[in-house]
């Protein structure tokens, strides 16, 4: 078996609401790594020695192999959805009947924001949408060169279909309207809400439908149908799936694997200029927290090679390394959490189209 890092998509059956996601993941992984060897077993009949063929099953699975499950199938199996009417009702609850609301910096995505906008527009009399030249992840404000969609016109059309007035603005002014901050990661930078200071109506997306989705609200949602959105899975649901998959694989194979629920990775596309991170976090749940929340502890191998360091000395440096934080031997290595590095690798491996591999198996990643 190769000693290098291997990341591969694991095929799975179509996963629908109500399916046993733990069983599907365990069965799919075992099918991927199962080895069947036919062995000849001696036995005796009436004192005569003979043989029969038996199947010997083993699994090409190792301790610290990493299994990733995309957040989408966990949320779908658990039935974590919200309707456009649910959004509209919560807007009325928080902003009152027929409000005028200023939407700050929505993402320019049909999949990510159109149904959210539909729900808001269904409840509001007027929306003032502040749209910078590029959204938070790099999508352009006008016609997207890859999709061909004029996002301004599309958002206006959604509002019009819901009998809601819509005004697009490119610069914010001092108009005194209630606010809905639609930035994906604004929650990470939250200041005390103005409503808590001066009785001002202002909410973030993670606070809309928070009675249904207390962890994330509408952050990380995806369009499901014209009237329904799939939520980003709750920490509780995702963690339970990860823990149960780990326990079952341990029971069957004897191997102590790491199991993660992953969403968007974190990488920047140099052509589209899009930063691929539209979910509230890269991983809502994972086992082996201490390891996954740490950073790689590696020497910069190519630097030593370029300096002419002998192979024996390089091997010694690797075998004897301790905590390299602050050490020059680690200069140039990327200081990122394993959680985010693994999510990017998983996301790129699974893709977002029709590969039908919502489960990822990564081997040798933590081989020292």
pLDDT in tens, 145-204: 888 999 999 999 999 999 999 999 998 887 789 999 999 886 555 555 666 666 678 899
Residue 326, pLDDT above cutoff 50: no
Beta strands in 126-257 (DSSP E): 126-130, 165-169, 179-181, 202-204, 222-225, 228-230
Distance CA 33, CA 28 (A): 9
Structure-token pair, residue 197: 């200071």
The strands making up 222-225's β-sheet, listed across from edge to edge, are: 81-83, 228-230, 222-225
Question: What is the percent of the chain where pLDDT is above 90?
Answer: 65
pLDDT band at 77 (very low <50, low <70, confident <90, very high): very high
Q: What is the mean pLDDT of the chain?
A: 88
Question: What SS3 state is found at 7?
Answer: strand
Structure-token pair, residue 364: 């040798």
Residue 65, pLDDT above cutoff 80: yes
Distance CA 218, CA 231 (A): 7
CB 239 within 8 A of CB 283: no
Torsions phi, psi of 268, nearest 5?
A: -115, 125
Distances (CA, A) of 267 to 173, 337, 341, 343, 358: 33, 14, 10, 10, 19
Question: What SS3 state is found at 71?
Answer: helix
Give the closest residue to 87 by CA, choosing from 200, 229, 235: 229
Least confident of 216-220, 235-239, 292-296: 292-296
Question: What SS3 state is found at 361?
Answer: strand
Give me the residue spans of the domains in the chain: 6-34+58-79+233-296+334-363, 81-230
Whether domain 81-230 has CATH 1.10.20: the reply is no
Q: What is the CATH number of domain 6-34+58-79+233-296+334-363?
A: 3.30.1330.100
Q: What is the DSSP letter of 134?
A: B
Comparing 6-34+58-79+233-296+334-363 with 81-230, is the CATH topology the same?
no
């Amino acid at each position: 078996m190769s000693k290098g890092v291997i990341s591969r998509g694991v095929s799975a059956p179509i996963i629908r609401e109500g399916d046993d996601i733990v069983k599907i993941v365990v069965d799919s992984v075992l099918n991927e790594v199962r080895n069947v060897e036919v062995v000849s077993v001696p036995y005796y009949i009436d004192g005569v020695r003979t043989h029969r063929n038996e199947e010997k099953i083993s699994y090409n699975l190792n301790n610290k192999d990493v299994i990733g499950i995309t957040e989408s199938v966990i949320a779908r199996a658990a039935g974590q959805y919200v309707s456009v009417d649910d959004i509209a009702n919560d807007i009325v609850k928080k902003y009152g009947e027929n409000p005028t609301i200023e939407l700050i910096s929505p993402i320019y995505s049909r999949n990510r924001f159109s149904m959210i906008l539909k729900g808001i527009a269904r409840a509001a009399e007027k929306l003032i949408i502040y749209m910078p030249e590029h959204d938070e992840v790099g999508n352009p404000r006008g016609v997207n060169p890859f999709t061909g969609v004029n996002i301004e016109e599309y958002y206006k059309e959604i509002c019009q279909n819901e009998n809601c007035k819509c005004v697009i603005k490119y610069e914010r002014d001092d108009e005194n309207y209630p606010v809905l901050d639609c930035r994906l990661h604004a929650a990470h930078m939250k200041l005390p809400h103005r409503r808590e200071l001066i009785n001002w109506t202002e909410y973030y997306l993670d606070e809309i439908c928070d009675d249904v989705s207390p962890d994330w609200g509408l952050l990380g949602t995806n369009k499901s149908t014209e009237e329904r959105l799939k939520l980003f899975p709750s920490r509780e649901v995702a963690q339970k799936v990860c823990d149960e998959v780990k326990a079952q694989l341990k029971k069957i194979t004897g191997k102590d694997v790491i199991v993660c629920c992953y969403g968007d990775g974190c990488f920047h596309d140099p052509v589209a200029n899009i930063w691929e991170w539209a979910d509230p976090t890269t991983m809502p749940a994972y086992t082996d927290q201490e390891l996954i929340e740490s950073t790689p502890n590696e020497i910069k191998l190519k630097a030593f090679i370029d300096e002419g360091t002998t192979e024996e000395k390089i091997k010694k440096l690797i075998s004897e390394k301790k905590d390299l934080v602050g050490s020059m031997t680690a200069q140039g290595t990327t200081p990122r959490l394993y959680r985010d590095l693994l999510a990017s690798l998983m996301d790129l491996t699974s893709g977002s189209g029709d590969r039908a591999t919502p489960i990822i198996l990564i081997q040798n990643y933590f081989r020292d």
